[in-house]
A = this chain, B = another copy of it.
């Protein structure tokens, strides 16, 4: 079936949001941890964390203009730091619950039953129950004229991950760490690896690789 931009314009708002949010494909599932200067912790789920570059190591995150994450964005701008924590299959319900509109003096950690964890003197909270997590330095904030979204670029300052997840070639086994992905606004998915594939070159057959990046015999 075909749907045109005219069809989209006539759709009920929530219906359209679920539809359009499905169309980018599967999305990353992260929790952003922040703490205000006055010590208030905050945690919110985001599905827009996207790779921006490896050197420097940059990730972008998009915030909706009407977001319930207003405290998160405020605290990031106040302190210039935040954490990103992969959502795994043991905590996806608690992670989803952070999207409820809690009051400013309510910490989502406490409200949803996740635990704060700290690393060194970095003052933003990590999620203890998350297996792969990063300390982030805010680099840039951009408000988009096109629809009022706010996009932030952050640089990775520290990575915490299980040693068993990191393969010899730098590949991280997200699946082994139970990291999940999201589709549309409310659907959570675990994954099953089809294959790693060799670096593609013209006139060369692709090879299937195992988790470690070793060529699998046909």
State whether the Cβ of A39 lies closer than 8 Å to any Cβ in chain B: no
Binary flags per residue of A190-210, CB closer than 8 Å to B gives 1, else 0: 111111111111101010010
Q: Which residues of B contact A169 (CB under 8 A)?
A: 14-15, 18
State whether the Cβ of A111 lies closer than 8 Å to any Cβ in chain B: yes
Q: Which residues of B contact A26 (CB under 8 A)?
A: 26-29, 174, 179-181, 191
State whether the Cβ of A54 lies closer than 8 Å to any Cβ in chain B: yes
Q: Which residues of B contact A5 (CB under 8 A)?
A: 57, 155-158
Contacts known (A5-B155, A157-B4, A172-B22); A190 close to B192, Cβ less than 8 A: yes
Which of B30, B93, B100 has a CB less than 8 Å from the CB of A202?
B100
Q: Which residues of B contact A111 (CB under 8 A)?
A: 202
CA distance A153 to B146 in the complex (A): 9
- Specify how many copies of this chain sit in the oligomer: 2
Structural contact, B191 and A181, CB atoms closer than 8 A: yes
CB distance from A104 to the nearest CB of B (A): 13
Binary flags per residue of A177-193, CB closer than 8 Å to B gives 1, else 0: 00111011111111111
CB distance from A12 to the nearest CB of B (A): 8
State whether the Cβ of A56 lies closer than 8 Å to any Cβ in chain B: yes
Structural contact, B189 and A196, CB atoms closer than 8 A: no
Q: Which residues of B contact A171 (CB under 8 A)?
A: 18-19, 22, 184-187
For the complex of A and B, 10 pairs with smallest distance between CB atoms:
A25-B28, A22-B172, A18-B170, A15-B170, A26-B181, A189-B191, A20-B54, A100-B200, A19-B170, A53-B147
List A residues at the B interface (Cβ < 8 Å): 1-5, 8, 11, 13-30, 47-60, 62, 64, 84, 86, 89, 92-93, 96-102, 106, 111, 119, 132, 134, 139-140, 144, 146-147, 149, 153, 155-163, 166, 169-172, 174-175, 179-181, 183-202, 204, 206, 209
